[in-house]
Structure 1
Amino acid sequence: MWRILLFSFFLMGSMSAAHAQDTSWQSCRGMVGQAGPVVSDCRPIAGSIDPQGQEIWVRSIVHSPTDAHVRVLYVAGVASSEAWLNGQRLGANGRPGATAQDEMPGRYQAIFPIRETVWRPGENELVLRLSSFHGGLRFARPMSAVAVLPYPYPPRIAPLAITFLAAGTLLAAAFGFGVIHAMRRTGTSLILAAMAGVATLQAIVESLRTLFDYSYPLHGWRMSAIWVLAAIFAVLLVRYVSSRFLPGAGRLMTLASLGLVPATVLLPGFDVKTIWALILGVALAVVPAAAGVWRRLPGARPSLAYLVLFLALALGLPEWFTDLSYFLLAAALVLPLLMVEVVRLSRDDRGREAALTRAASRPDRLTVASARGVELVPIAEILAVVGADDYVELRLVGGRGLLHAARLDGLASQLPANFLRIHRSVIANLSRVQRLEREGDRWWLHLNEGVPLPVSRSRLPALREALEDVPVAAAA
């Protein structure tokens, strides 16, 4: 297993060289003879080696090494394999076969040592027998690398160390946001905890190929998990940014992400699916972040700048972004948000304490924690209260709107009796009612100003009963 780990680090930087050797392979008819493999009718392979659903024989000419380093054959892909060099068997990974019953699945990554006595001066014939009947999913490039490499090679542990560092940071952030949610029950904290947790899981799954010598049939499950986790992160990102900077359109943006991001499953190749799931999520999140900048909401400008950077790296360096920078950027995104959330909650606590002290002698006012601070709003000027995730929107007379850091359920108990919940996300001031009107199969409550408010069927009887007891409503 340690040899797989060693060469995995090397291949992170030398995969282009391995891919270059893939182009020299030929597809042949073959069989195992007494003196080794017998191949005939060899033809150049246009594209990558693909043993999925079949048994194939492939042949390549490799040159003998010009230095004293020992060489190994590295094979990585969803296939069982058996290899020969100059007719000498190098070894087998599983057992290739002509049918699924004949095949014994091998590992995703295999290393075949090459003895010095096997080499001939000049050109050497390398023959592989491959089969893949247990992969489950079909891959656009089933063999990620087939290459003759020097052994040993100094390990490059930096990428794995960075991934582990990012995973630890994300795990700490997930724990921190989970604690905040347990204390405050805020939806954004729960979303951020989920984002950090999902990114942590993806970092772990990404590292499995390097850390564990798993059987090739599991590779499809691993790649599927990577795409699923990336898609979940993208949807959660859209949900968080929308609830933070454009709460009125949060549900619409989330539905858009749920429609677009899962559609990336139709794209070819898991790397393409994963990168486009992230790109679509970030692109959708840019919209509410830009709206927050236009509305001059705190935190909107740095969030937009970070999302644009996220998007630029994803489009400009997609492979690097998918393999490594995604974790760094995700960690760098959620960790500052954790610190900002802690500071904001502390500031809100101090502001609320001061405001509650001032409001104790003003029962006709509602203490509102908004983006501009804490202010006392006359309850008589509130037309309606509309829920928006962790916030509520107070619709006031004169067309003014004010976001209040409170939950709709908790606010309902603070308002006087003339305020009634008419929808799961709406509380209306009945003293401002003009009329109750039906349009098709939906009911709408019209106030003496502002847009009509939706009325749910389950709350319609209570509203009608309450309107009978409100003289202002009857007069209107």
Structure 2
Amino acid sequence: MYYCDNPLLRLALCALLLVSVSSFARDWVHIDYHQVRVCPGGGPVPTFTEPGCQTQSFFSSDPQGQAIWLKAPLYLSEHRQQKSAPLAFYLFAKASSEVYLNGTLLGVNGRPASDAEQELAGFMDARFYVPPDLVRPGENWVVMHLSSHQSMLHLASPLHLAALGRYQNTTEYFGIEPYIQLSVLCVLLLGGLYLLILRLSPLRAQIPAGLLWLIGIAAAQLAAEQLRGWFSYPYPLHDVRLMLILICALAFGSGLLVYLLRLCQMHTKLQLVILVPGIGLTLLLVFISPGFDLKTTLAVTMPAFIGMCVACWYYYQQRTGKTLLCGATLCAFVLAALLSLQSFHSLTFYAMVTLLLGILLGLHIRHLSEIQLQSIADQQAIAKLQVKLAQLDKASAQQYLNLTFGSATERVDIGQLLWCRAAGDYVELHLEGGAERLYSGSMKSLTDKLPATFMQVHRSYLVDLDRVRRIALNKDKAQPGYAFLYLSDGSRVPVSRRLLAQVRESIE
């Protein structure tokens, strides 16, 4: 799998990448990849003049299922040779290997052999220490013995890199890209966690499980993709990693198409008519396409293209901003993939996937906000309706409140009651004309006996909202309450800050 990217798709990251890896990348001296002499066999080092030897590209050389010898020139400037930093020869290949520089064995990665029984699997990315006196200015010769018998998959290009550079970990070659991918992975995981929390909330029925599935699959694919940038592993595991990435890509593409069809609210039969041929076509293209980079890209791009067509059709039918934004994002996603089929599934893919999932998540968060606002509006309308109904009930029937003092009972006309105030074990009743009475009981028990037009506006105050004429903020901080209600008889009652909005809505 190549780790080269199309610069046209990475302009936004160029400066950052150059700052972090330019000093390391300039120290690398690559072999002449186009003038490699290749000879078959697993015996001793050949002279490379044998009849079976041929000159070809390093990347077209194939040790899979056999053992081969490679010889390539490496040109070193005098300035580079004079540097005192320790050197290493790096070989990134899906193979076991042994490397010679100028006729001297540098080391062995695994054990290359002509058959699988004799071969010991080496690491995918190998590093060999180079003694300072072994290199010379000008032309140097590198000889590599490679074999790859323990593979499940046959790759189009199993050899990735052969170069001389400063002695460091092999993962340093990938620069800061693994760290950027880790940041993207953290964003995906945080988005998935947030969505999971929403799923567990009372509004869980409004959160589609498909979006959570897409985030999880994208995070799993990104985690598998960045493994090579974090540590080196035996080359047979490279096949497992590639298969995991491809399976995740197919699952993400299929899940994305299913999600988009449901988002466009299509009926089940039409969904199946689009989904089954779409997934079948995707599998066919993945099967016939060469190289896992292209397979992985097509596994996601083809369903995304079908989903883009569906979103555009739905926008034409419904003319909603949600489908317009979704269709435009999918269009950008597909366009980016078409411009770089061989490298799109790398960092560009995960940046675009994160953007796409972020937009879909944002659409659902906005939808939830609209539902919550509508719920609040409905509750306010119900509260207003209840007040109006209470006013009608109050006007249609004369109501009384019985006050008991010892053996005596007094009936107080509720229509004369303006406001009430809690006073220890009693409640003061303030009536029209300035009259006052005492109710023996709690504020809550009194509230249960009064019409719904009476509302508790403060911890100690209860008011008939029909008598409110004006609301004003409390400028006298020595007085309790955030604001005051001015009643029809000129009295005023404090209102707490917490209940002020509800009071305003009830009397409007």
Q: CA deviation at 1:38?
A: 5.2
Partner residue in 2 for 1:247: 266
Which deviates more, 301-310 or 63-72? 63-72
Unaligned runs of 5+ in 2: 1-19, 384-508
Partner residue in 2 for 1:22: 33
Q: CA deviation at 1:22?
A: 2.4
**C-alpha offsets along residues 253-298 of structure 1, whole Å, 9 cap, x if unaligned?**
3223321222213321100101111210210111221022111134
Partner residue in 2 for 1:133: 149
Partner residue in 2 for 1:164: 182
Partner residue in 2 for 1:462: none
Q: Calculate percent identity across the aligned residue pairs.
A: 27
**Is 1:195 matched with 2:214?**
yes
Partner residue in 2 for 1:204: 223
Summarize the alignment of residues 13-412 of structure 1 with structure 2, pairs less than 5 Å apart: 21-28=32-39, 39-41=48-50, 42-45=53-56, 48-66=60-78, 67=80, 68-69=82-83, 70-151=86-167, 157-183=175-201, 184-186=203-205, 189-248=208-267, 249-263=270-284, 264-294=286-316, 295-352=318-375, 354=377
Distance 2:206 2:62 in 1: 47
Distance 1:203 1:134 in 2: 26
**Max radius of gyration: which structure?**
2
SS in 1 for 2:141: strand
Q: CA deviation at 1:123?
A: 2.4
Distance 2:280 2:167 in 1: 48
Q: Is the 8 A contact 2:36 2:56 kept in 1?
A: yes
Q: Is the 8 A contact 1:293 1:300 kept in 2?
A: yes
Distance change (3 Å), C-alpha of 1:186 and 1:26: farther
AA partner of residue 283 (structure 2): P
Distance change (3 Å), C-alpha of 1:187 and 1:260: farther
Q: Is the 8 A contact 1:239 1:253 kept in 2?
A: no
Q: CA deviation at 1:62?
A: 1.9
Which consecutive aligned stretches of 4+ in structure 1 deviate over 6 angstroms post-superposition?
Answer: 17-20, 153-156, 356-360
Distance change (3 Å), C-alpha of 1:259 and 1:155: closer
Distance 2:191 2:100 in 1: 50
Distance change (3 Å), C-alpha of 1:122 and 1:334: closer
AA partner of residue 161 (structure 1): Y
What is the TM-score normalised by the length of structure 2? 0.63
Q: CA deviation at 1:55?
A: 0.8
Distance change (3 Å), C-alpha of 1:252 and 1:31: closer
AA partner of residue 177 (structure 2): P
Q: CA deviation at 1:357?
A: 8.6
Q: CA deviation at 1:342?
A: 2.5
SS in 2 for 1:247: coil
Distance change (3 Å), C-alpha of 1:266 and 1:10: farther
AA partner of residue 89 (structure 1): L
SS in 1 for 2:346: helix
Q: Is the 8 A contact 2:30 2:164 kept in 1?
A: no
**C-alpha offsets along residues 119-146 of structure 1, whole Å, 9 cap, x if unaligned?**
2453222111110000111100011222
SS in 2 for 1:261: helix
Q: CA deviation at 1:162?
A: 1.9
Distance 2:308 2:217 in 1: 20
AA partner of residue 48 (structure 1): S
Distance 2:113 2:251 in 1: 38
**C-alpha offsets along residues 15-40 of structure 1, whole Å, 9 cap, x if unaligned?**
9x98883221111256766xx76554
Partner residue in 1 for 2:464: none
Partner residue in 2 for 1:384: none
Q: Is the 8 A contact 2:330 2:356 kept in 1?
A: no
Q: Is the 8 A contact 1:32 1:38 kept in 2?
A: no
AA partner of residue 76 (structure 2): S
Q: Is the 8 A contact 1:31 1:38 kept in 2?
A: no
Distance 2:206 2:70 in 1: 56
SS in 2 for 1:299: helix
SS in 2 for 1:318: coil
Distance change (3 Å), C-alpha of 1:252 and 1:176: farther
Partner residue in 2 for 1:419: none
Q: CA deviation at 1:330?
A: 1.4
Distance 1:291 1:355 in 2: 34
Distance 1:18 1:273 in 2: 31
Q: Is the 8 A contact 2:42 2:114 kept in 1?
A: no
Task: Count residues in correspondence.
Answer: 349
Which deviates more, 195-204 or 328-337? 328-337
Partner residue in 2 for 1:431: none
Unaligned runs of 5+ in 1: 1-8, 361-476
Which deviates more, 63-72 or 237-246? 63-72
